[in-house]
């Protein structure tokens, strides 16, 4: 009988951005694969909705939190992990996006984007990898970056800047944390159907939507496509993978 190397049975996984889109799909997939979940988001009602969509037998705890409120995050995460137990994996899906010409990217906007997409993710990781918070036998951290960490696009400076920074930070983290058997990887989606992409400029116009779709040789993706890749990196099947970025982009960056 083969052992299922993709199982997340008995694993405790923290998922940010779990109130929407990719984070919600990750919660559903991780639950299906047996994980016990700590779901983080700002919108309490939407977090409850995610919880109601889970089918697995593992427990689920909700944490309503703005990840840029760093003092509150430190206090609440510590208290909750004391109850939740040592963490085996983290998916950082919380993030914001915009399309803004470079000339309009003020220092304040650059800072706002950096706080949410980079600092909040790194700060939470710091807290979760502390002794007692993380499984002493190892763990897996997954950051959701974007194809924009790898290639450019007009009016995407703010967003690309943050995703590139997250990718660079994850590689150094992977090396620093390898002695503790903590693996650190990124998943870079192309456009997938979520509230974020539904609000984007190209979704407001069918010709533009078709143009964006054509940039993906396999067409646009779904949040589940990203979640499946996360399950792989969190599971035993990904045990020798660290410091890398997996493109889950329907071929967007292959051209």
Ligand X SMILES: NC(=O)c1ccc[n+]([C@@H]2O[C@H](COP(=O)([O-])OP(=O)(O)OC[C@H]3O[C@@H](n4cnc5c(N)ncnc54)[C@H](OP(=O)(O)O)[C@@H]3O)[C@@H](O)[C@H]2O)c1
Binding site for ligand X (CB under 6 A): 16-17, 19-23, 41-43, 46, 66-68, 93-97, 116, 144, 146, 189, 191-192, 194-197
15 vs 139 by CB, closer to ligand X: 15
181 vs 202 by CB, closer to ligand X: 202
**Smallest separation (angstroms) from ligand X to the CB of 17:** 3
Look at strands 139-144 and 89-92 and give their pairing.
parallel
**Smallest separation (angstroms) from ligand X to the CB of 68:** 5
116 in Cβ contact with 158 (< 8 Å): no
**Smallest separation (angstroms) from ligand X to the CB of 187:** 9
**Smallest separation (angstroms) from ligand X to the CB of 220:** 8
Q: What is the distance between the alpha carbons of residues 104 and 110, in angstroms, rounded to a whole number?
A: 10
**Smallest separation (angstroms) from ligand X to the CB of 45:** 9
150 in Cβ contact with 101 (< 8 Å): no
Neighbours of 237 (CB within 10 A): 14
**Smallest separation (angstroms) from ligand X to the CB of 242:** 20
32 vs 112 by CB, closer to ligand X: 112
**Smallest separation (angstroms) from ligand X to the CB of 67:** 4
167 vs 177 by CB, closer to ligand X: 167
167 vs 192 by CB, closer to ligand X: 192
Burial class (CB within 10 angstroms; exposed 0-12, middle 13-18, buried 19+) of 29? buried
Which of 39, 121, 88 minimizes the C-alpha distance to 234? 88
22 vs 167 by CB, closer to ligand X: 22
Q: What is the distance between the alpha carbons of residues 233 and 134, in angstroms, rounded to a whole number?
A: 17
Specify the length of the chain in residues. 255
Q: What is the distance between the alpha carbons of residues 109 and 126, in angstroms, rounded to a whole number?
A: 25
Element (H, E) at 155: none
18 in Cβ contact with 42 (< 8 Å): no
179 vs 255 by CB, closer to ligand X: 255
39 in Cβ contact with 51 (< 8 Å): yes
DSSP secondary structure letter of residue 117? I
141 in Cβ contact with 133 (< 8 Å): no
């Amino acid at each position: 009988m083969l052992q299922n190397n993709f199982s997340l049975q008995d694993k405790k996984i923290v998922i940010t951005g779990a109130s929407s889109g990719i984070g919600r799909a990750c919660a559903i997939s991780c639950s299906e694969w047996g994980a016990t979940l700590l779901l983080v988001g700002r919108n309490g009602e939407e977090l409850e909705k995610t919880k109601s969509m889970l089918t697995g037998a593992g427990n689920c705890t909700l944490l309503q939190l703005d990840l840029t409120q760093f003092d509150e995050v430190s206090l609440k995460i510590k208290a909750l992990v004391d109850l939740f137990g040592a963490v085996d994996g983290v998916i950082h899906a919380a993030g914001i996006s915009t399309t803004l010409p470079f000339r309009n990217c003020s220092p304040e906007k650059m800072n706002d984007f950096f706080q949410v997409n980079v600092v909040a993710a790194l700060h939470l990781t710091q807290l979760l990898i502390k002794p007692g918070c993380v499984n002493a036998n190892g763990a897996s951290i997954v950051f959701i970056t974007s194809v924009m960490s790898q290639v450019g696009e007009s009016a995407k400076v703010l967003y690309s800047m943050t995703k590139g920074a997250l990718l660079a930070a994850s590689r150094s983290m992977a090396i620093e944390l390898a002695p503790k058997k903590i693996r650190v990887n990124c998943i870079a989606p192309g456009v997938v159907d979520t509230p974020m992409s539904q609000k984007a400029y190209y979704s407001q116009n069918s010709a533009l939507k078709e143009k964006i779709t054509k940039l993906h040789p396999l067409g646009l993706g779904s949040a589940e496509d990203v979640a499946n890749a996360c399950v792989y990196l969190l599971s035993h099947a990904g045990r020798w993978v660290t410091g890398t970025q997996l493109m889950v982009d329907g071929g967007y960056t292959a051209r």
